[in-house]
Amino acid sequence: MEITAAEALVRCLEQENVELVFGYPGGAILPVYDAFNNSTIKHILVRHEQGAAHMADGYARVTGKVGVCLATSGPGATNLVTGIANAYMDSVPMVVITGQVPTTQVGTDAFQEVDITGITLPITKHNFLVKDPKQLSVIVKKAFHLASTGRPGPVLIDLPKDVALSKIKFKYPKNINLPGYKPTYKGHSAMVQQAGKIMMKSERPVIYAGGGVRISGAAPELLQLAETLSAPVTHTLMGLGCFPGDHPLFLGMLGLHGTRYANQAVTECDCLIAVGARFDDRVVTKISGFAPEARIIHIDIDPAEIGKNVTTHLPIVGDLKTVLGAILPNLEKKDNSRWLKRVCRMKEEFPLSYSQEGRLKPQFVCEKLNELKEDNAIVVTDVGQHQMWAALYMRFNEPRCFISSGGLGAMGFCLPAAIGAKMGAPERNVIMVIGDAGLQMTMQELGTAAEQKLPLKIFVLNNNRLGMVRQLQEFYCDKRYISVDFEFNLDFAALGRLYGMEGYTINTPEQLTELLPQILTSPAPVIVDCIIDREENVYPMVLNGSAISEAIGSGKRRMEDI
């Protein structure tokens, strides 16, 4: 029996155990939507295609599964681009399906035609334009395999309408062979042994952990490595939660807005063990001042990342969980008490701090949220000052508990990503920490959240301005502020009530302390408009051209005095 290629596509998704997809229909993708009528897959109707991509992203980060989103051709496809780029930068497994004009019209500037495979070539792991309907099943199998193996990432399938309507016999391949695509999972044995020797000789080791720990499922191995070596652990933004935030060896985030003690520990270490991290500019800031005394061991599944930004003394290409599993038997329990005492002094002398004078402080909001949230609650942030405050003042003890846009820094990510996260983990509380500007970029997705009856807890850190841009203008433009203040002040609590949410406006620490327990335990969706100090900056901060050891803020004394 023959079926349409569109029906075959939906069956392929079922074979890949896809439970739900996020999308927005249109003419070119209509055959695929029609095929969903006979499927068990749940489709989530979004309000904008960018929201669909971010929802698939949030779903994938929480579940570890491949997120799936759909859109029609032309503007539907181009509206996905920001979400695709975000997933690509943060190594999120995603399959993106777009409709396309009929093959006879491709290249004619037809209505709603864009070359989406050309546009997304630099921001996808791979993409396909389906020309032969008989190849569709193989293409889908390849797409899911590519998206979820090696270093994960988004894969796009562009399906012309006439191909989607073609009749074929359905058969889904059990296995796939991709010549030339053979990710390395097992580290080179000689390198593994050498890494163990360097680690054992080290007197001042620091582990620098990134999002690859979460992706690989290597959190248990990371904990064992740190405790065996007595090595402090610092994280990238993407790595938060992969090592217990309440562990004595935890240093918090490093880099541009990292803790001063994490930055100084990296500066003074004699061995930096980089696991699943990529030495990006937010971490390194100034190459010559980054871990200048250290031998650097870099373990990553993507060989292109090793040596790209920082010289590596010992590179190991492979899956992090597998490689650490091979290194650990070569190690013995170490006593680095002298080094740990030095690190403890750093923490004591340079704790995170802020002035509590004036209006409600965003750091206080994050501290109270951290105090009262469940340990397995999922915290989702947008991009900006609030993102850094959440990363600095909240603690995460489990992987997949902290979700944020890292490499791309895409404002508007938080709300749709939180929707995807909640749909991926409906039994867990999902808390949004978001700025007033970021919420206004995708706030139409409040309609999606309401339609799906999702009890999100939304905390808007509202300074009625583009806070991070204002901070940058303060330091780099001699306080010449332009286009950072909103003249119209939106009432977010009232907005939430329009969507059937409970809405609160909070102006003081006392109000927050009183209301927060009932907000977090409410079975209803809640939006909390926290009116924060408009002049508050994110500290610590490393200024342009400075090394990470030269951060300003969070401490009065010089680091060399302790």
The phi, psi pair for 235, rounded to 5°, reads: -125, 155
The pair of structure tokens assigned to 105 is 């019209």
Do 119 and 213 share a domain, yes or no? Answer: no
Q: Which of 1, 7, 14 minimizes the C-alpha distance to 163?
A: 7
**Domain C-terminal end among 169, 199, 215:** 169
Q: Is residue 547 part of a domain?
A: no
Q: Are 49 and 82 in contact (CB under 8 A)?
A: no
Do 16 and 68 share a domain, yes or no? Answer: yes
Q: Is residue 106 part of a domain?
A: yes
Long-range contacts of residues 369-372, Cβ cutoff 8 Å, at least 24 apart? 369/394, 369/431, 369/433, 369/459, 369/516, 370/394, 370/395, 372/516, 372/517, 372/520
Do 76 and 141 share a domain, yes or no? Answer: yes
- Residue 287 exposed, middle or buried by CB count within 10 Å (0-12, 13-18, 19+): middle
Question: Reading across the β-sheet that carries 402-403, which strands appear in turn?
Answer: 402-403, 378-381, 430-435, 457-462, 526-531, 502-506
Do 341 and 377 share a domain, yes or no? Answer: no
**Domain C-terminal end among 324, 349, 374:** 349
Q: Is residue 297 part of a domain?
A: yes
DSSP, res 74: T
545 torsion bin: left (phi>0), alpha (psi -120 to 50), beta (else): left
Q: Which of 261, 266, 268, 269 minimizes the C-alpha distance to 279?
A: 266
Q: Are 76 and 99 in contact (CB under 8 A)?
A: yes
Do 142 and 242 share a domain, yes or no? Answer: no
**CATH (domain of 287):** 3.40.50.1220
Q: Are 143 and 157 in contact (CB under 8 A)?
A: yes
Q: Is residue 153 part of a domain?
A: yes
Q: What is the pLDDT of residue 359?
A: 87
Q: What residues are annotated to the active site?
A: 49, 111-112, 161, 468
- Residue 111 exposed, middle or buried by CB count within 10 Å (0-12, 13-18, 19+): exposed
Do 201 and 333 share a domain, yes or no? Answer: yes
Residue-range definition of the domain harbouring residue 197: 189-349
Q: Between the CA of residue 67 and those of 131, 216, 237, 446, what are the distances in Å?
A: 24, 17, 21, 20
- Tens place of pLDDT per residue across the chain (562 aa): 899 999 999 999 999 999 999 999 999 999 999 999 999 999 999 999 999 999 999 999 999 999 999 999 999 999 999 999 999 999 999 999 999 999 999 999 999 999 999 999 999 999 999 999 999 999 999 999 999 999 999 999 999 999 999 999 999 999 998 999 999 999 999 999 999 999 999 999 999 999 999 999 999 999 999 999 999 999 999 999 999 999 999 999 999 999 999 999 999 999 999 999 999 999 999 999 999 999 999 999 999 999 999 999 999 999 999 999 999 999 999 999 999 999 999 999 999 999 988 789 999 999 999 999 999 999 999 999 999 999 999 999 999 999 999 999 999 999 999 999 999 999 999 999 999 999 999 999 999 999 999 999 999 999 999 999 999 999 999 999 999 999 898 999 999 999 999 999 999 999 999 999 999 999 999 999 999 999 999 999 999 999 999 999 865 444 444 3
**CATH (domain of 87):** 3.40.50.970
- β-bridge partners, 528: 459, 504
- Residue 490 exposed, middle or buried by CB count within 10 Å (0-12, 13-18, 19+): middle
Do 379 and 300 share a domain, yes or no? Answer: no
Q: Is residue 95 part of a domain?
A: yes
Reduced to 3 states (helix: H, G, I; strand: E, B; else coil), residue 203 is coil
HSE-CB for 469 with a 13 A CA cutoff = 16
CA distance 234 to 116: 39
Question: Reading across the β-sheet that carries 250-253, which strands appear in turn?
Answer: 250-253, 233-235, 205-209, 271-275, 295-300, 314-317
- β-bridge partners, 435: 461
User: Max alpha carbon distance in the chain (Å)?
Assistant: 79
Q: What is the pLDDT of residue 562?
A: 39
Do 131 and 229 share a domain, yes or no? Answer: no
Do 213 and 331 share a domain, yes or no? Answer: yes
- Residue 461 exposed, middle or buried by CB count within 10 Å (0-12, 13-18, 19+): buried
Note the Cα 497 to chain centre separation in Å. Answer: 29
Do 396 and 518 share a domain, yes or no? Answer: yes
Q: What is the pLDDT of residue 357?
A: 83
Do 526 and 390 share a domain, yes or no? Answer: yes
CA distance 57 to 94: 7
Q: Is residue 330 part of a domain?
A: yes
CA distance 243 to 239: 8
Q: Is residue 549 part of a domain?
A: no
Q: Is residue 560 part of a domain?
A: no
Cis peptide leading into residue 540 (ω within 30°): yes
Do 300 and 395 share a domain, yes or no? Answer: no
DSSP, res 465: B
How many domains are contained in the chain?
A: 3
**Domain C-terminal end among 325, 349, 373:** 349
